[in-house]
Amino acid sequence: MIEAKNINFYYGDFHALKDISMYMKKNTVTALIGPSGCGKSTFLRLFNRMNDLIDNTRLTGECLIQGENIYNKSVHVDELRKKAGMVFQKPNPFPKSIFENVAYGLRVNNMGDKKFIEQRVEESLIAAALWDEVKDKLKKSAFEISGGQQQRLCIARALAVSPSILLMDEPASALDPISTSKIEELIHKLKEEYTIVIVTHNMQQAARISDMTGFFMMGELVEYSDTKKMFLNPQKEATQNYITGRFG
Amino acid sequence: MKHIEKEINSLKEEIIQMWKLVVSQLEKAKQSFINSDIETAIEIVTREKSVDAFELKIDSDCENYIALYSPVAVDLRLVLSLLKISNSLERIGDLAAGIARHVIEDECNNNSLELIENLQLEEMFDTLISMLSDGLVSLEYESTIKSEKILAKDDKIDQIYHNSIYILSEYITKDTSFTLCGLKLLLPIRKLERIGDLCSNLVEDIVFYVDAIVLKHNEHHNNN
């Protein structure tokens, strides 16, 4: 489904990702863990070409989604971003109504008529486990709901354009335990339809929600394995030191 | 050393203290049983409470550690192993106290040296003490090099136990007045056999902690 082949990525002279190869199966959750600056977010952002927006960067290797190298010239970035939705650390709703936030992607991509958009907004809010909480205030500003609800709204916004992949960069790090638990439940449910890659600093969260875990350190993929195996019996000393809190 | 490592080390230190106490209980059980030494037997029964207290303390500390530190990897394996180890050690302590009670309460204490020798009881005790002591060294040094050797000793214990049934049966056949004492003598021997099983469990738990390998219910221990 998603594959990285011998990825090297540079910010100017800085070698941020060093020969990373990883395969992520369809309908799985893959957690990327590692200390700050290890390259996990850079790696995540490769899959919807967010790094294209940064000057003076260079990439070698291949990023494949459903067998296609997403860095081929024939690939339209807008189309790619519909396929690979992104959720960020801090909820970032647009200064619009709840409804319009979810409808935004559909409107800018000219996807369907008014009825279709209404239906898709409802479906997306249901899928993001937010519908029951906002169905009576869809016209209210997105800033009027709580941080946890805003983050689920951002997930609904990503889901509205029917992606197959969800990329999440610490989606619960700014949330309280209740909202975090809702996001985790949601991730668990969403993997039935989506392939999810999540960057997290929360070890227990990675253990709870992911099927596979990749541990990054200083731009290298130190270990990539089944999450249960990684958290019971990691094969590399560096992984063990990191996940047990002995690192550094 | 990080705080988390200090906590883990203090848990390990507790189990080592408990283990040393249980080794000493078993050594004293040997002394009291072989020599019909009632004074030592009473001492064992009294000290059993300390073994129980260790188990409760370690259980509680492990629960706290899991709740507060959410251990993973080697730390998780250690805590899971420690919970099982403390339970096995408590059982061994219990069995040693049971043997001591046999010495205190039994009217057929003065078994002949010849019978003790034929039953290989001293050898049984010594083998168990060495299994237990080697297990302790394995935990202290986090080394499983000797685990196979320790586990193999349990086969010897089982063999001595099975032989003892036939030996006692022969003695009873020869001298029917020995029937009651013969049957009673089988009880502590059975306890020693159980201690052998528990020593094997201890080694299995250390192997799980150190090597992340599950030995339980493998071919070697189907007779457990």
Residues of B in contact with A239 (CB under 8 A): 73
Please report which residue ranges of chain B form alpha helices under DSSP H: 3-34, 38-69, 73-105, 113-118, 121-141, 147-174, 179-211
Query: Chain A 198-227, CB below 8 Å of chain B: which residues?
Result: 203-204, 207
Q: Highest mean pLDDT: which of A173-177, B43-47, B173-177?
A: B43-47
Which is more confident, B105 or B86?
Answer: B86
| Predicted-complex ipTM score | 0.76
Q: How far apart are CA A31 and CA A213, in angstroms?
A: 5
Q: How far apart are CA A112 and CA A110, in angstroms?
A: 6
pLDDT at site B223: 45
pTM for this entry: 0.84
Average pLDDT over residues B54-70: 94
For the record, the structure tokens of B95 come out as 């069995």
pLDDT at site A248: 56
DSSP B42-91: HHHHHHHHHHHHHHHHHHHHHHHHHHHH---HHHHHHHHHHHHHHHHHHH
| Nearest C-alpha neighbor of A95 from the set A46, A144, A160, A136 | A144
Any CB–CB contact under 8 A between B71 and chain A?
Answer: yes
A236 CA: distance to closest CA in chain B (Å): 11
| Minimal-distance CA residue of chain A relative to B78 | A232
| Minimal-distance CA residue of chain A relative to B8 | A244
Residues of A in contact with B72 (CB under 8 A): 203, 207, 231-232, 243-244
Domain ranges of chain B: 3-221
Contact assignment for A231 to B76 by CB distance below 8 Å: yes
Residue B109 pLDDT greater than 80, yes or no: no
Q: Are B177 and B110 spatial neighbours (Cβ–Cβ below 8 Å)?
A: no
Any CB–CB contact under 8 A between A243 and chain B?
Answer: yes
Domain ranges of chain A: 2-243
Average pLDDT over residues B71-97: 97
Contact assignment for A246 to B2 by CB distance below 8 Å: yes
| Minimal-distance CA residue of chain A relative to B76 | A232
Contact assignment for A233 to B73 by CB distance below 8 Å: yes
CATH assignment, B3-221: 1.20.58.220
Residue B60 pLDDT greater than 80, yes or no: yes
Any CB–CB contact under 8 A between B67 and chain A?
Answer: no
Task: Return the number of other C-beta atoms located less than 10 Å from residue B56's C-beta.
Answer: 11
Q: What is the mean pLDDT of chain B?
A: 93
Please determine, looking at this structure, whether the domain spanning A2-243 carries the CATH number 1.10.645.10: no
CA atoms within 13 A on the CB side of B128: 35
Residue A96 pLDDT greater than 90, yes or no: yes
A174-212: burial string, b at 16+ Cβ within 10 Å, e else: bbeeebbebbbebbeebbeebbbbbbbebbebbbbbbbb
